[in-house]
């Protein structure tokens, strides 16, 4: 590649293109290092794999632009960095899945584990390439866990990529029920409007590494290999239309990690684009509530519930739904006991104060939200001098206050039973 950025910018101007190039960490790499990061491998049976049914699309009925980073909210997770690995398919497809989770299900940005989806699936523990359709088929039944359970960096702790075993993995996997594909520009635009972001692959030429801003059109240099990204929107731009793409080369590349590429450039509109829908949240756990006449006790454990019942506690059903393991935006809900009363808190300071006041820590009861997520509700805490009571019910809160409990505010936010 010709690393003379000034010469490239002159060539861009001469061809009447509107994008701008700059020197960056990608242009400073050797050609061999860059090509290793281009991991979109076209299947031999590509035409057989593309099995979408494209209905006639009336593009006049579509808006001239959409951007899921700002479409009545942001539904796009942060830009990530694939490093020196041909895992771009993992990043582009995982980003697509993350956005669909936010749109359809969890209503907040849940970062998913590229390492889990790429190195622990049928792809295997290597940095060789893949294809979007293959990724979505491989992870449909197994799902993908939260990034916090298997961060990408941990896959390279010993150099070559590894897969780690996640205890009770199935209980922490987010899933999708439908794999979708589009094969025309009109269909992809309709999909972006009606459903959400979509994964796509395209040919990378030598000039692309230096992209900084503007609408990319191939200007100079040879074809190196193929790359996968997530399309988060489009803009018809008065006839000079382009796709809005989220890359996986970190925020220091391009326009804060994003780039715009013109329609029909570099085979981006030749190969099928793939997306998912019918997403499913990772299973939350019921938080059982029990009472022994003086103390309310809460647990996610069926075994502990049975043991508590044998010790004189009576079940009062499911108080709410929480998470047994940490997910994005969740916090530990500490459990303490002073021999009479169980106290629960998300505050490390309150936990320390309670321990100084005679409570003994019994560890983390579960994981909850400290601030309100769209589908979560307040978990009120009340105290009568002896017993702490927690409830999501305004009516029960009011009744408890009438019976001598004093409100101590909102302990946290949970999912309503």
Alpha helices in 58-207, H assignment, sequence order: 88-104, 114-119, 132-139, 185-194
Both tokens assigned to 376 = 């979560």
Helix (H, G, I), strand (E, B) or coil at 44: coil
Q: 């080369």: which residue's tokens?
A: 249
- The whole-angstrom separation of Cα 48 and Cα 58 is 27
Q: At what angle do helices 88-104 and 132-139 cross, to 10 degrees?
A: 60
DSSP 8-state secondary structure symbol assigned to residue 55: P
Q: Which residues are annotated as catalytic? A: 88, 227, 247
Rounded alpha-carbon distances, angstroms, from residue 145 to 24, 82, 150, 167, 276:
32, 18, 8, 11, 16
The answer for residues whose C-beta is within 8 angstroms of residue 103's C-beta and 6 or more apart is 68, 75, 195, 196
- The whole-angstrom separation of Cα 417 and Cα 319 is 6
Q: Cβ(290)–Cβ(314) under 8 Å? A: yes
CA neighbours within 13 Å on the CB side: how many for 35? 9
Q: What is the DSSP string of 168-234?
A: TGGGGEEEEEEEEEE-SHHHHHHHHHHT--EEEEEEEEGGGGGEEESEE---SS-EEEEEEEEEEEE
Q: Cβ(183)–Cβ(55) under 8 Å? A: no
Sign of CA dihedral 135, 139, 143, 149: negative
- The whole-angstrom separation of Cα 31 and Cα 28 is 9
Angle at 312 between CA 308 and CA 314, to 5 degrees: 75
- The whole-angstrom separation of Cα 145 and Cα 322 is 16
Sign of CA dihedral 232, 214, 207, 156: negative
């Amino acid at each position: 590649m010709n690393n003379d950025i000034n010469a490239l910018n002159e060539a861009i101007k001469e061809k009447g293109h509107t994008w701008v190039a700059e020197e960056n960490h990608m242009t400073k790499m050797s050609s061999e290092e860059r090509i290793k990061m281009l991991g979109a491998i076209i299947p031999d049976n590509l035409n057989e794999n593309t099995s979408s049914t494209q209905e006639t699309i009336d593009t006049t009925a579509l808006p001239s632009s959409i951007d899921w980073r700002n479409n009545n909210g942001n539904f796009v997770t942060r830009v990530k960095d694939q490093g020196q690995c041909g895992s771009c398919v993992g990043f582009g497809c995982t980003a697509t899945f993350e956005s669909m989770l936010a749109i359809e299900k969890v209503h907040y940005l849940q970062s998913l584990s590229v390492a889990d989806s790429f190195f622990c699936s049928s792809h295997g523990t290597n940095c060789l390439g893949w294809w979007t359709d293959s990724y979505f088929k491989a992870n449909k039944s197994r799902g993908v866990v939260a990034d916090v359970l298997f961060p990408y960096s941990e896959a390279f702790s010993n150099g070559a990529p590894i897969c780690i075993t996640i205890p009770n993995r199935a209980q922490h996997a987010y899933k999708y029920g439908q794999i979708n594909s589009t094969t025309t520009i009109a269909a992809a635009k309709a999909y972006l409007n009606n459903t959400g972001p979509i994964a796509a692959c395209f040919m990378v030429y030598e000039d692309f590494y230096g992209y900084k801003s503007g609408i990319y059109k191939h200007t100079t240099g040879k074809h190196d290999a193929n790359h996968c990204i997530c399309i988060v929107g489009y803009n018809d731009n008065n006839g000079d239309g382009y796709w809005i793409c989220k890359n996986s080369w970190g925020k220091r590349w391009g326009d804060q990690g994003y780039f715009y590429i013109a329609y029909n450039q570099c085979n981006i509109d030749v190969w099928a684009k793939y997306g998912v829908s019918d997403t499913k949240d990772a299973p939350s756990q019921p938080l059982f509530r029990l009472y022994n006449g003086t103390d309310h006790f809460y647990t996610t454990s069926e075994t502990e519930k049975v043991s508590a019942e044998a010790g004189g506690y009576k079940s009062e059903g499911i108080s709410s739904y929480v998470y047994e393991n940490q997910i994005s935006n969740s916090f530990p809900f500490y459990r303490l006991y002073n021999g009479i009363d169980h106290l629960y808190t998300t505050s490390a300071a309150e936990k320390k104060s309670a321990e100084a006041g005679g409570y003994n820590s019994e560890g983390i009861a579960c994981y909850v939200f400290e601030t309100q997520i769209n589908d979560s509700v307040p978990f009120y805490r009340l105290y009568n001098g002896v017993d702490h009571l927690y409830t999501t019910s305004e009516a029960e809160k009011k009744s408890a206050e009438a019976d001598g409990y004093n409100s101590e505010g909102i302990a946290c936010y949970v999912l309503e039973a």
